[in-house]
Amino acid sequence: GAGVSQTPSNKVTEKGKYVELRCDPISGHTALYWYRQSLGQGPEFLIYFQGTGAADDSGLPNDRFFAVRPEGSVSTLKIQRTERGDSAVYLCASSLMAGPNTEAFFGQGTRLTVV
Partner 1 sequence: KNEVEQSPQNLTAQEGEFITINCSYSVGISALHWLQQHPGGGIVSLFMLSSGKKKHGRLIATINIQEKHSSLHITASHPRDSAVYICAVRSMDSNYQLIWGAGTKLIIKP
Taking CB under 8 A as the criterion, the residue among 21, 23, 67, 91 binding partner 1 is: 91
Nearer to partner 1, 70 or 99 (CB): 99
DSSP 8-72: -SEEEE-TT--EEEEEE--TT--EEEEEEE-TTS--EEEEEEETTEEEE-TT--STTEEEE-TTS
Residue of 86, 111, 107, 105 whose CA lies nearest to 9 = 111
Which parts of 45-84 interact with partner 1 (CB under 8 A)?
45, 48, 55-56
Q: Rounded to an integer, what is the distance from CA 104 to the centroid of its chain?
A: 13
Closest approach of partner 1 to the CB of residue 54, in Å: 12
25 lies in the binding site for partner 1 (CB under 8 A): no
Closest approach of partner 1 to the CB of residue 62, in Å: 19
Q: Which residues bind partner 1 (CB under 8 A)?
A: 9, 31, 33, 37, 40-45, 48, 55-56, 89, 91, 93, 95, 98-101, 103-109, 111
